[in-house]
Amino acid sequence: MIWCFLFKNRKHSVRDNQGYVFAGAIGFRKFTYSELKQATKCFSQEIGKGAGGTVYKGLLSNNRVVAIKRLHEANQGEKEFLAEISIIGRLNHMNLIGMWGYCAEGKHRLLVFEYMEKGSLADTLSSNALDWAKRYQIAVGTAKCLSYIHEECLEWILHCDIKPQNILIDSDYQPKVADFGLSKLLQRNNLANSSFSRMRGTRGYMAPEWIFNLPITSKVDVYSYGVVVLEMITGKSAMISIQITDGEESH
């Protein structure tokens, strides 16, 4: 559930006196922790959870429904956090989830995103609500998003955790790739020598490169995407739970 940012020159964000952080031409609202705590009813409306954080449904004071991700790792400085937020702000693609704001107060680090009423691809696959035309549309839209973050945007990004739970669906059944956190920044022109402190991704969707400690490239996302497409075609999950003994499961 981590995006890995790879870029040549790191740039710092600029804030105005209205509390917005500007990244290129995009401004994000800076929320207070108390605002987001109130919006989520004391973080009681959980809608998703991963290694990097927990996502909650929230209602802002202007009645806008949002998804609020509370990051687990709170040891990042505000300056570094805002610099990486500015990178996110320069991304612009119809199949990327939209980010509207953030909170960097004390040790609290939260991100505010648009809310997708239809949930994730995993939800829609399990409900058998997708005909073949919609499945094709979702597959193509997700591929276009990956092509954008790998080849077309100024910052070169690896998602590192493509799976049905991280592909959200809007009201027109367009996919929105989501669930990214903030991670270390690597040099784009030195990817072959780039190292990761730990494996990233979800069992069943992880490329062999992670297992065999090989150089990590955009192919790890392509591999995960291929697994997702297979799930869309077959209707079978990449993860199967097998009961071994009472109270124990294997995947």
d(CA 176, CA 122): 13
Determine whether the annotation assigns residue 176 to a binding site. Answer: no
**Is 172 among the catalytic positions?**
no
Query: What span, in angstroms and rounded, lies between the C-alpha atoms of 14 and 249?
Result: 49
Q: Under DSSP, is residue 92 helix (H, G, I), strand (E, B) or coil?
A: coil
Rounded Cα gap, residues 151 and 179, in angstroms = 20
Whole-angstrom Cα distance, residue 209 to residue 59?
Answer: 41
Question: Edge to edge, what strands does the sheet with 185-186 contain?
Answer: 156-158, 4-6, 185-186
Are the C-beta atoms of residues 67 and 116 closer than 8 Å to each other?
Answer: yes
Which uninterrupted H or E stretch holds 38?
A: helix 33-39
Return the beta strands (E) in the chain as ranges: 4-6, 14-15, 20-23, 26-30, 46-49, 53-59, 65-71, 99-105, 108-114, 156-158, 167-169, 175-177, 185-186, 242-243, 249-250
Question: Pick the catalytic residue: 16, 123, 131, 161?
Answer: 161
Euclidean distance between CA atoms 193 and 186, whole angstroms: 10
Binding-site residues? 69
Catalytic residues, by residue number, are 161
Binding-site residues for ATP? 69
